[in-house]
Amino acid sequence: MTRSEENYLKTIFHLGGSKTTTPITTNAIAEQMETKPSSVTDMAKRLSEKGLVNYKKYQGVSLSELGIKTALNIIRKHRLWEVFLVRKLDFTWDEVHEVAEQLEHIKSEKLIDKIDELLGFPKYDPHGDPIPTKNGDIDEQGYDKQLLSELPVGTKGTCVAVKDSSVPFLQYLDKHGISIGKTIHILGKEVFDGSLHLRVGNREHTVSQQIATNLYLQSK
């Protein structure tokens, strides 16, 4: 397994390539990976040779059983390292992704199992995404969560995950005191643009619809 192969598998998984129903297009992969479609075609052939993906010319790519298992293993490593960075080394949630992108490729089963143990076998990463188990089981559902934008005014809930985990979005949330575990109260909604009025802790803010469609709450 090369690093590049691992990155392709991970991307294909994130684009939904574990379901055989709709194969992932060459273009979609290229765009996501910021590479050229021709490079994707080359890699699709290589991965197909190795039995990691199903690929037929002009018909896109989906992951094989082995491909899914491999992708989940990389995602497991990525997310465990993210938890480690936040909990043990005081990284902020917007800093972890870049470093975890490197750490996820370290080849040592013992290492990642020990990190898992050190962290007390966490179930979710710092963005609220579920961590696959050693056997490749993943709690796709996660918490019983709903997008902030889909909840009615008056709802009170706990922030459990983010949909977008880009650096600017995470920094925006930090600036407004929003993080995983925080209680959020929906005070009002502007019908015109879908913006929401919230109470987070003892502070009140207005957030745009774009924010509201990228934040998951568990309502109570």
The reply on whether position 2 binds a second copy by CB under 8 A is: no
| 79, burial (CB in 10 Å: exposed 0-12, middle 13-18, buried 19+) | buried
* Of residues 71-100, those binding a second copy (CB under 8 A): 85, 88-91, 95, 98-99
The reply on whether position 193 binds a second copy by CB under 8 A is: no
The reply on whether position 2 binds DNA by CB under 7 A is: yes
By CB under 8 A, name the one of 38, 59, 108, 206 that touches a second copy.
108
Cβ partners under 8 Å of residue 70, min gap 6:
1, 6, 9, 52
Q: Which amino acid is at 220?
A: K
The reply on whether position 42 binds DNA by CB under 7 A is: yes
Cβ partners under 8 Å of residue 211, min gap 6:
148, 169, 172, 196
The reply on whether position 105 binds DNA by CB under 7 A is: no
The reply on whether position 120 binds a second copy by CB under 8 A is: no
By CB under 7 A, name the one of 46, 69, 176, 182 that touches DNA.
46
By CB under 7 A, name the one of 14, 19, 36, 203 that touches DNA.
36
Residues present in the chain in total: 220
* DSSP 8-class letter at 164: -
